[in-house]
């Protein structure tokens, strides 16, 4: 792991000051890599549409390769992915009037009912860079002429090397990967802050996975020194923050006598969280020791985000993969991906009304637990590659 530097605690600034760019990023950050689909969701010869940071994108798999193009036909503006019309392996074809665009360059190659049309070769739709890694299709979303194209690894969590028993890295070999993604009815920033917020563990106090594994979970992590947070700033690489739960920077709150509540669970195991631009959470040693969880918060528009939650561990043999599949079906899926994660989605969606309709970014009353939230807002404001503007005709007060 690269050297990290401490972030000093300070009183959270008023909105519009030290993290103004973050406050303007209702539609997300542009010029970053985002997950779009699991590989199995786009079989050979099929077409799917996604929306990332307001960009409507059509994904097509042909001859094993994934292509991403604008999902708006230049002719009459319909979404090309609204209906499947995959006539051959060379084109993205609009189902309405048969405009056929080259998969590689987006140039209009022919019109089904007008093969000599003068528009052919003169009209194009934009294309997007694609990488398919670790059973996930990633798209680089932002300015079409953005150069140089950063590597996918610059928008993923760092490889952990400071742990004698490190968790795996997403691009390692021999991984068993399982997970979910879906739409949450909240702005992406509320999802991101919920995922990395050291005070939000209270919503998991009574979750089924805590009872089933008898896992110790505190009522909250109270920051006590600047060592509670470290900044990840790798040259041409990931930018993020790490919560140093086990390095003396936090006090683990196990009881609140006024509220009459105590922590649950007796089994302690090492867990650490970190968060990276453009919005990816890493949880080490969860839901099991030697496993890792990545969670992405992908902006859709200014009121919704696509949440991703994947867990993975190393499986060198077929027997180990069968055991991992068993754990996924009997434990990870029902207890983590469904029950545990549903509490996070509920919390984010409950915040949406306050932040969108009640001027929440100016009215929020942040407490000491929110030191890391403020640090994230500052870091995101400094290191993002651009603020995504609303699509034409869309303005956002968020």
CATH number at residue 93: 2.102.10.10
Helix/strand/coil percentages in the chain, nearest 5:
25, 30, 45
Structural domain includes residue 138: no
Tell me the average pLDDT across 171-194.
97
Structural domain includes residue 388: no
Structural domain includes residue 268: yes
The three-state secondary structure class of 221 is strand
The three-state secondary structure class of 278 is coil
357 token code pair: 């309709």
Structural domain includes residue 230: yes
Residue 211 pLDDT = 85
Residue 17 pLDDT = 67
Shared domain check, 66 and 10: no
Q: Which domain holds residue 263?
A: 4-28+153-383
Shared domain check, 307 and 253: yes
Residue 225 pLDDT = 82
Q: How far apart are CA 295 and CA 388, in angstroms?
A: 21
For residue 273, the tally of other CB atoms under 10 A from its CB is 22
Structural domain includes residue 398: no
Indicate the burial class of 364 (C-beta count within 10 angstroms; 0-12, 13-18, 19 or more). middle
Q: Which residues are paired to 105 by β-bridges?
A: none
Helix (H) or strand (E) holding 6: strand 4-6
Shared domain check, 174 and 85: no
Tell me the average pLDDT across 328-336.
95
The three-state secondary structure class of 241 is strand
CATH number at residue 231: 3.90.380.10
29 token code pair: 């950050």
Chain mean position to CA 169: 16
Nearest one of 241, 204, 151, 156 to 347, comparing CA atoms? 204
Yes or no: say if 20 and 34 are a contact pair by the CB < 8 Å rule.
no
Res 361 pLDDT > 50: yes
Shared domain check, 17 and 93: no
Structural domain includes residue 232: yes
- Give the number of domains in the chain: 2
Shared domain check, 171 and 24: yes
Residue 264 DSSP label: B
Residue 270 pLDDT = 81
Shared domain check, 58 and 23: no
Res 150 pLDDT > 70: yes
Residue 201 pLDDT = 87
Q: CA of 54: how far to CAs of 28, 189, 292, 379, in Å? A: 9, 15, 30, 23
Yes or no: say if 113 and 75 are a contact pair by the CB < 8 Å rule.
no
Yes or no: say if 153 and 171 are a contact pair by the CB < 8 Å rule.
yes
Summary mean pLDDT of the chain: 92
If one compares 220 and 61, the residue with the highest pLDDT of the two is 61
Tell me the average pLDDT across 335-359.
95
Residue pLDDT, tens place only, 103-116: 999 999 999 999 99
| pTM for the predicted model, two decimal places | 0.93
Residue pLDDT, tens place only, 40-99: 999 999 999 999 999 999 999 999 999 999 999 999 999 999 999 999 999 999 999 999
Residue 7 pLDDT = 37
Shared domain check, 167 and 102: no
């Amino acid at each position: 792991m690269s050297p990290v530097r401490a972030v000093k605690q300070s009183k959270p600034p008023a909105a519009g000051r030290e993290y103004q760019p973050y406050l303007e990023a209702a539609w997300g950050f542009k010029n970053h890599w985002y997950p779009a689909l699991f590989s199995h969701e786009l079989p050979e010869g099929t077409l799917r549409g996604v929306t990332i940071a307001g960009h409507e994108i059509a994904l097509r798999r042909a001859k094993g390769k994934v292509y991403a193009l604008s999902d708006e036909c230049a002719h009459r503006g319909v979404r090309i992915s609204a209906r499947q019309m995959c006539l051959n392996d060379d084109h993205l074809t609009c189902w309405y009037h048969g405009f056929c665009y080259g998969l590689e360059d987006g140039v209009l190659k022919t019109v089904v009912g007008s093969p000599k049309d003068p528009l052919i070769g003169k009209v194009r739709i934009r294309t997007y860079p694609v990488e398919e890694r670790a059973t996930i299709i990633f798209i680089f979303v932002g300015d079409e002429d953005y150069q140089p194209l950063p590597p996918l690894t610059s928008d993923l969590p760092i490889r952990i090397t400071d742990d004698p028993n490190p968790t795996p890295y997403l691009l390692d070999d021999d991984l068993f990967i399982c997970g979910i993604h879906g739409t949450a009815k909240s702005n992406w920033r509320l999802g991101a802050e919920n995922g990395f917020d050291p005070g939000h563990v209270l919503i998991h106090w009574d979750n089924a996975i805590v009872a089933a594994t008898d896992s110790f979970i505190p009522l909250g992590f109270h920051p006590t020194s600047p060592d509670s947070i470290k900044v990840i700033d790798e040259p041409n690489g990931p930018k993020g923050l790490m919560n140093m739960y086990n390095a003396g920077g936090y006090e683990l709150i196990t009881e609140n006598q006024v509220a009459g509540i105590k922590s649950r669970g007796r089994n302690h195991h090492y867990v650490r969280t970190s968060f990276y631009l453009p919005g990816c959470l890493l949880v080490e040693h969860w839901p099991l020791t030697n496993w890792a969880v990545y969670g992405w918060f992908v902006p859709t528009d200014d009121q919704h985000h696509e949440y991703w939650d994947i867990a993975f561990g190393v499986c060198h043999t077929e027997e180990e993969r069968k055991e991992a599949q068993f754990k996924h079906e009997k434990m990870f899926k029902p207890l983590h991906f469904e029950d545990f994660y549903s509490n996070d989605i509920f919390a984010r969606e409950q915040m949406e009304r306050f932040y969108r309709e009640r001027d929440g970014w100016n009215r929020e009353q942040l407490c000491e637990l929110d030191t890391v939230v403020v640090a994230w807002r500052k870091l995101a404001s400094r290191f993002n590659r651009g603020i995504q503007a609303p699509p034409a005709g869309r303005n956002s007060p968020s």
